[in-house]
Structure 1
Amino acid sequence: MDEGGTVATSLGDALRADIGASLAGVDADLARRYPGEPGTRQPVHTVYVPADAFAGDTARIWGDRALAALDEHAPGAASLGQVLGLDGELAEQVHQRVRAKLEHEPVEDLRIDFEDGYGLRPDDEEDAAAGRAARLVADAVAEGAAPPWVGIRMKCMEAAVRDRGIRTLDVFLTALMDSGGLPRGLVLTLPKVTYPEQVSAMVRLAEEFEKAHALVPGRIGFEIQIETTQAILGPDGRATVARMIDAAEGRATGLHYGTFDYSASCGISAAHQSLDHPAADHAKAVMQVAAAGTGVRLSDGSTNVLPVGPRARVHDAWRLHYGLVRRSLARAYYQGWDMHPAHLPTRYAAVYAFYREGLEQAATRLAAYLGRVGGAVMDEPATAKALSGYLLRGIDCGAVDVSEVARLAGLTRADLDDLAGRSRAA
């Protein structure tokens, strides 16, 4: 630096401009492929119900059955805490919030299943079931009784059931349009995907339906269910799931791990098919890296150990489910599938305990970071973003109140949105 304060450089403006021009395509590609988190609430679970068992009040029925299971097998905070290993104050907080959740919004995401849970039926029967499901969903949405997210899991794109899956999708969506339009929380699940071309086919179906009904392009999105080994590693040795996200052309909203189909495709015996099997961890790690930064969200699978029968058996199943959910949360799988109403108490107990246990530490670390206060942990901007994202997820699911974060960290919801990089409009 000379006496006039001018900094000496060796590289000219023309070179910087030339490099900027050469990387313009990369910049655009990064922005397109990796837009970041959507900035909206993510459901903590998905409940799936066979299409022939679905009713307009299914969510309320599940909530009532979940409350009955809680009242029978853990009627108070102390008994729930004893089963799940929660201390007195935390047990009180969790039990109170679980009961409130089961009373007012027991199911966050409901999938009406036309695939494995429904099976093969005569065409006229499945046609009728698809139309009926759409009308019931439309009625529930109009009455304010529908879960925030609801939709169908169609049959897959494999040759044997492809035409039937496409027809069911068409009947369901058309009936929704005839009943007032597509609900805001509509979710479609495409199962057993093995090749990116199957995802491309789903994109084409969505595009054609949008054109037929003059919908905004991109209105219809869908989840990709990862249930086959080919979805993780293709015959060319590449990670197929990353290619599937690309093939979705921005329409993929989630990747859902299918515990039992994937385990079976790996040759794992039935007794060892579980969310915590090493094969499951490998698949989910690949999914996680492929989806990072894309805005495509992750969901873990389910356990098939049901909390039914004598109290001791229910408690064992609850401890298993609770532990698996906590394990998934620690690995940044913030959503999972539930197969039985009695899974709901431990789903919400695990989620609420996860966020309440870390509330004070996360808020204190975030306040220290913003205040440039030294401490035992040196945090960077990426960690501050993660801390704010953690607190926002806790608020979104009902585990944490905005007022608690304000008291501990002096931050508003808008402050957290800014730190997490969320759009306030979202």
Structure 2
Amino acid sequence: MASDIPTGSSDLATELDTRLAEADARLDREYPGDRGGRQPVHSVYVPADRVGPGLAADWGARSLAALDEFAPRAADLAEATGLGRAAVEEALSRVRDKLVREPIEDLRADFEDGYGAPGDEAEDRDVLTVARAFAADLAKGEATPYFGIRMKGMEAAGRHRGVRTLDLFLRTLLAEHGSLPDNLVLTLPKITSVEQVEAMVWLSERLERRLGLPDGRLRFELQIETPQSILLPDGTVAVARMIQAGRGRVTALHYGTYDYSAACGITAAHQSLAHAVADHAKSVMQVAAAGTGVWLSDGGSNILPTGTPAEVHAAWRLHAGLVRRSLERGFYQGWDLHPHQLPIRYLATYAFYREAFAPAAARLQAYLGQAGGNVMDEPATAQALASVLARGLRCGALEETEVVDACGTDAAGIEALATRRVGQEKQ
């Protein structure tokens, strides 16, 4: 009855709008939600002095050759990786096609730990070579979906060299290509203070002005590989403050497995992205990044699949398990360091999404009211269901036709539901 409606409630709500206006604006600014788009399933780190035009195609050919040599049949690959024969048989043709068509999704020329300090003359020469190689691949339509560099960071010992490398790289790429590609990625390593992220913002602003780039054009990833990038001396979470210090420029957080483990006192034999110290750091990263639109990447395995067939198979089994473990924990990207790791990256990734597909599609169809079911999902869960389908579509594990048939909505509908800000819709 109308008489039961409290009088004056509208005025109270209006006053609350005023009272919470600043908090509402801050939430919209600091937690914009999933930015959508295709996140690469991996980053491939290659020492800068080994980067040249056509690198991705070469790695693809080498990875296919490794499959033919060490696991010529699906049964061999299933036994080697422990992924299960049915999963391997379903995904293998997609993997082989991927290794021909697009073997690397995100290529990073490494001027940091994987490169060393050969001196200014040698590094300048390699910077020019890398920038020209990227430009050549762009001109031929052979560039990887994402690419860029990891320069030396803001710590005192490498600061000057890192700035010089970044400046020279950007200038050369601009000169060779005429513009900065949208898929360019820059990685800031060895972060030990919030001030270093603020300094990277300052440097980006100055370089944009000098190079005639639009404001905000230069964005960067934060490599989380020091205890100081997880926890500050006063006990506050450093990485959360670093994201905000980036002022919208931070695109991703990448976990640095071995530096972080070593800094925490873990001996080399036990350093792994599956160690407890790694899980703690990544859990902190995950909470800090939630809702911000900042992507997460796990590290990688330094046990390379080379040597005898038994050694290759052991490395493949380890890699497959680690990729699966990361995916189950919500880290949809990792690192690869060798061509022989690529088949297993894609095989484990595709198997994960293929396995998730049928139950997620059925539950989403029920949520959308197009089928019955015995699970009552909330909007947040529906978003998670759509998200796994969207990620599977983006990486090529799923086809749009099968998703439409299974849940009754197309890729655009899946994408919209996956990126919706649950709980913050206008009433």
> What whole-Å deviation, never above 9, does each CA across 1:61-91 have from its counterpart, x for those lacking one?
1111111111111112222122233444432
Counterpart in 2 of 1:311?
309
Counterpart in 2 of 1:162?
159
Matched residue SS, 1:68: helix
Matched residue SS, 2:187: strand
Counterpart in 2 of 1:107?
104
Matched residue SS, 1:314: helix
In the superposition, the TM-score normalised over structure 2's length comes to 0.96
Determine whether 1:133 maps to 2:133.
no
Q: Unaligned regions of 5+ residues in structure 1, if any?
A: none
Counterpart in 1 of 2:425?
none
1:9-88 pair list within 5 angstroms: 9-88=6-85
Counterpart in 2 of 1:91?
88
Contact preservation (8 Å) 1:363, 1:408: yes
Contact preservation (8 Å) 1:38, 1:422: no
Contact preservation (8 Å) 1:39, 1:422: no
Q: CA deviation at 1:171?
A: 0.3
Counterpart in 2 of 1:362?
360
Contact preservation (8 Å) 2:83, 2:348: no
Question: Which one of 333, 338, 345 corresponds to residue 340 of structure 1?
Answer: 338
Paired with 2:303 and 2:81, the residues of 1 have a C-alpha distance of: 16
Counterpart in 2 of 1:241?
239
Residue type at the aligned position of 1:167 = R
Paired with 2:39 and 2:4, the residues of 1 have a C-alpha distance of: 49
Determine whether 1:408 maps to 2:406.
yes
> What whole-Å deviation, never above 9, does each CA across 1:215-256 have from its counterpart, x for those lacking one?
221111100000000100111111100010011000000000
Matched residue SS, 1:48: strand
Q: CA deviation at 1:205?
A: 1.3
Contact preservation (8 Å) 2:63, 2:340: yes
Contact preservation (8 Å) 2:35, 2:419: no
Residue type at the aligned position of 2:29 = R
Matched residue SS, 2:335: strand
Counterpart in 1 of 2:267?
269
Q: CA deviation at 1:376?
A: 3.1
Matched residue SS, 1:360: helix
Matched residue SS, 1:224: strand
Paired with 1:414 and 1:137, the residues of 2 have a C-alpha distance of: 31
Question: Which one of 214, 220, 223 corresponds to residue 222 of structure 1?
Answer: 220
Contact preservation (8 Å) 1:321, 1:347: yes
Matched residue SS, 2:254: strand
Residue type at the aligned position of 1:258 = G
Residue type at the aligned position of 2:92 = H
Contact preservation (8 Å) 1:80, 1:95: no
CA RMSD of aligned residues (A): 1.3
Contact preservation (8 Å) 2:43, 2:105: yes
Paired with 2:311 and 2:160, the residues of 1 have a C-alpha distance of: 43
Counterpart in 2 of 1:146?
143
Contact preservation (8 Å) 2:190, 2:225: yes
Determine whether 1:194 maps to 2:192.
yes
Q: Unaligned regions of 5+ residues in structure 2, if any?
A: 422-427
> What whole-Å deviation, never above 9, does each CA across 1:313-349 have from its counterpart, x for those lacking one?
1111101000000000000000000111111111001
Give the length in aligned residue pairs: 420
After the TM superposition, which of the residue ranges 286-295 and 60-69 deviates more from structure 2? 60-69
Paired with 2:58 and 2:131, the residues of 1 have a C-alpha distance of: 19
> What whole-Å deviation, never above 9, does each CA across 1:391-413 have from its counterpart, x for those lacking one?
01001111010011011112101
Residue type at the aligned position of 1:133 = V
Q: CA deviation at 1:373?
A: 4.8
Paired with 1:111 and 1:192, the residues of 2 have a C-alpha distance of: 16
Paired with 1:137 and 1:259, the residues of 2 have a C-alpha distance of: 27
Residue type at the aligned position of 2:385 = L
Counterpart in 2 of 1:399?
397
Paired with 2:191 and 2:153, the residues of 1 have a C-alpha distance of: 7
Counterpart in 2 of 1:207?
205
Residue type at the aligned position of 1:108 = E
Paired with 1:204 and 1:273, the residues of 2 have a C-alpha distance of: 35
Residue type at the aligned position of 1:26 = A
Paired with 2:419 and 2:46, the residues of 1 have a C-alpha distance of: 35
After the TM superposition, which of the residue ranges 59-68 and 346-355 deviates more from structure 2? 59-68
Paired with 1:68 and 1:124, the residues of 2 have a C-alpha distance of: 36
In the superposition, the TM-score normalised over structure 1's length comes to 0.96
Contact preservation (8 Å) 2:298, 2:326: yes
Q: CA deviation at 1:193?
A: 0.5
Counterpart in 1 of 2:424?
none
Q: CA deviation at 1:146?
A: 1.0
Counterpart in 2 of 1:326?
324
Contact preservation (8 Å) 2:108, 2:149: yes
Q: CA deviation at 1:370?
A: 0.8
Question: Which one of 171, 174, 183 corresponds to residue 171 of structure 2?
Answer: 174
Paired with 1:352 and 1:82, the residues of 2 have a C-alpha distance of: 17
Contact preservation (8 Å) 1:108, 1:147: yes
